[in-house]
Amino acid sequence: MDSEKPPFRRSQAWFGRQDRDGFVHRSWIKNQGYPHDLLDGRPIIGICNTWSELTPCNGHFRELAEFVKRGVYEAGGFPLEFPVMSLGETQLRPTAMLFRNLASMDVEESIRGNPIDGVVLLMGCDKTTPSLMMGAASCDLPTIGLSGGPMLNGKFRGKDVGSGTGVWQMSEMVRAGEMTMAEFSSCESDMHRSSGTCMTMGTASTMASMVEALGMALPENAAIPAADTRRKRLAQLTGRRIVEMVKQDIKMSQILTRQAFENAIRTNAAIGGSTNAVIHLLAIAGRIGVDLKLEDFDKLGSEVNNILNLQPSGKYLMEDFCYAGGLPAVMREILPMLHGDALTVNGKTIRENVANAPCYNRDVIKTVDDPFMPAAGIAVVRGNLAPNGAVIKPSAASKHLLQHRGPAVVFESIEEFHAKIDDPDLDIDENSVMVLKNCGPRGYPGMAEVGNMPLPPKVLKKGITDMVRISDARMSGTAYGTTVLHTSPEAAAGGPLAVVQNGDMIELNVPERKLHLEISDEELARRLALWKSPEKPKRGWYKLYVETVQQAHLGADLDFLVGGSGAAVPRDSH
């Protein structure tokens, strides 16, 4: 590098000017007590914070940000923390997913419009990870991810109990008459007893793992619990590292290559990760210009063995995963299947990061030769019921139902489902195929996590715990069951799912990747011609969303948000 000429810093377009506007930019920032020399051209690091008390999983992020700042200062940078829209999975209605793309716009414009040279993304609860990754990718500055970490293991009556997964299990026990409501409620304070995200391999832990597998976070990002002081240390190291990344000008697009996404897909299969990763990875890839298709998840992931014995598919929880060695130990095990040369944010390759990663518990992290579940990655099924595909997670399904033929029991909405499912006169048994419509991106709107419909009590009482379920909805990453999800096109977009009727025979054949509605092409065309689009929202975000959201097989981003605009310095504000 030419030592005579200091490197251009984007932030100097604000703070480096000797004119009226330079005065404005510097003087107002100084009202927070910063000395003048912090504006001398050192890297300015934006800390993009999704802290919110309404996003309980990210409730500890103000403290975490302080440790990032320590690291930034140590490395000679100047940290400036800023808030963005935070999406809390457990509180937001109708579903946090409705706002993922909105939050990503907030992130993108907050980064581009401000004097920032590099960004640290503080991510935790499910949608906060993809929204920040998507928004930052559309700017493509040097960027590093830091996840908030999972909660400590839930402990109920002396036993481990997992976020979400335990709720689904126990609520089914209540419905089957095996547990009282009072017993169920008494678990509320026991399941979630520390800061952090769901401690099962739900969507938050899956996405934290994806960030690490993509090379976008420092090693061990995924599994260190929020309450473990090593999380703070990781935050400090992340702060140090982003300053170096700015100096080395390592942009997001150099990390997020096609190879990185292939690594993420394979890793997701190896950890038994959430089906939500499909939609989020497709959307992130779309922003950074990587050609990724729904089919890639099946091609690259479905033959990969699941080697992680974690709920919802297995037994253990994220705290156990951390103590067993965390994600580096998993990636070491599948390293021959990965692109080892892929660059990561610490400047090293995936191979360099994980080649010697130790495993301390082989019951938690299994080996490829002795897996927890063979060939258990996400499968993509197609047929006249889902011409653009639908997904199923075989590791969360019942083996005997992966090939199944049965009559449809149709619910036009989730409200209709709730109103009917407990009715003893409902014509349904364990061979039926439950079909739920109008829960896709446009239909709900926002593609709610309702695809794992609870079973009817009369089936539960026989001791049966799984049935085939099909919908255009998503499913919580903490859920399980033989659930075909994300059917595309969705019902509300006039997909064939919209015209399934009670009693129609449906065939699911996962080994053959088939999802077939057994009616003639003529009958299907006749029914579709009679179909009427549901009423659309008239104003505001809902209207913009429903009019522009893409279908699930494309990642459910808004059509006009796909791609990026870089981070050129915008025009003067005064």
Of 196-204, 220-228, 283-291, 321-329: span binding ligand FES (CB under 6 A): 196-204
Residue closer to Mg ion, measured from CB, 9 or 393: 393
| Residue 476 interacts with, from Mg ion, ligand FES, none (CB under 5-8 Å by kind) | Mg ion
| Cα distance between residue 231 and residue 195, in whole Å | 12
Nearest alpha-carbon partner for 391 in 308, 300, 279: 279
Secondary structure (H, E, C), 509-560: ECCCCEEEECCCHHHHHHHHHHCCCCCCCCCHHHHHHHHHECCHHHCCCEHH
Residue closer to Mg ion, measured from CB, 207 or 235: 207
| Residue 114 interacts with, from Mg ion, ligand FES, none (CB under 5-8 Å by kind) | none
Q: Is 191 in the site for ligand FES (CB under 6 A)?
A: no
Please report the sign of the dihedral spanned by the C-alpha atoms of residue 134, residue 93, residue 437, residue 272.
positive
Q: Is 212 in the site for ligand FES (CB under 6 A)?
A: no
Interacting residue with ligand FES among 198, 329, 365, 467 (CB under 6 A): 198
Of 194-202, 457-465, 514-522, 524-532: span binding ligand FES (CB under 6 A): 194-202
| Cα distance between residue 61 and residue 122, in whole Å | 7
Binding mask 417-456 for Mg ion (x = CB under 5 A): ----------------------------------------
Residue closer to Mg ion, measured from CB, 203 or 551: 203
Whether 432 and 406 have beta carbons less than 8 Å apart is answered as yes
Interacting residue with ligand FES among 197, 209, 274, 487 (CB under 6 A): 197
Instruction: Tell me which DSSP letter residue 461 carries.
Output: T
Instruction: Tell me which DSSP letter residue 310 carries.
Output: B
| Residue 228 interacts with, from ligand FES, Mg ion, none (CB under 5-8 Å by kind) | none
Residue closer to ligand FES, measured from CB, 201 or 373: 201
Interacting residue with ligand FES among 116, 125, 170, 492 (CB under 6 A): 125
Q: How far is the CB of 53 from ligand FES (least distance, A)?
A: 13
Q: How far is the CB of 95 from Mg ion (least distance, A)?
A: 10
Residue closer to ligand FES, measured from CB, 52 or 197: 197
Nearest alpha-carbon partner for 303 in 265, 346, 255, 341: 265
- Give the type of residue at 223: A
Residue closer to ligand FES, measured from CB, 138 or 163: 163
Residue closer to ligand FES, measured from CB, 198 or 556: 198
Q: Is 476 in the site for Mg ion (CB under 5 A)?
A: yes
Report residue 104 as tokens: 């990503």
| Cα distance between residue 280 and residue 133, in whole Å | 9
- Give the type of residue at 551: Q
Q: List Cβ neighbours of 304 (8 Å cut-off, separation of 6 or more).
A: 266, 269, 270, 334, 337, 375, 376, 377
Q: Is 90 in the site for ligand FES (CB under 6 A)?
A: yes
Nearest alpha-carbon partner for 298 in 341, 274, 266, 323: 266
Q: Which residues pair with 392 in a beta bridge?
A: 379
Of 6-14, 40-48, 167-175, 195-203: span binding ligand FES (CB under 6 A): 195-203
Residue ranges of alpha helices (H) inside 159-308 are 165-175, 181-185, 188-191, 203-213, 229-248, 252-255, 258-271, 276-288, 294-301
Exposure string (b/e) for 470-492, b if CB count within 10 Å is 16 or more? bbbbbbbbbbbbbbbbbbbbbbb
Whether 59 and 89 have beta carbons less than 8 Å apart is answered as no
| Cα distance between residue 508 and residue 383, in whole Å | 10
Cis amide bond preceding 312, omega within 30: yes
Q: Is 449 in the site for ligand FES (CB under 6 A)?
A: no
Q: How far is the CB of 222 from ligand FES (least distance, A)?
A: 13
Interacting residue with Mg ion among 203, 306, 346, 353 (CB under 5 A): 203
Residue closer to Mg ion, measured from CB, 88 or 456: 88
Q: How far is the CB of 151 from ligand FES (least distance, A)?
A: 8
Q: How far is the CB of 57 from ligand FES (least distance, A)?
A: 3
Using CB under 5 A as the criterion, which residues of the chain lie in contact with Mg ion when the complex forms?
Answer: 89, 126, 203, 476
Question: What residues make contact with ligand FES under the rule CB under 6 A?
Answer: 57, 89-90, 125-126, 163, 197-198, 202, 204
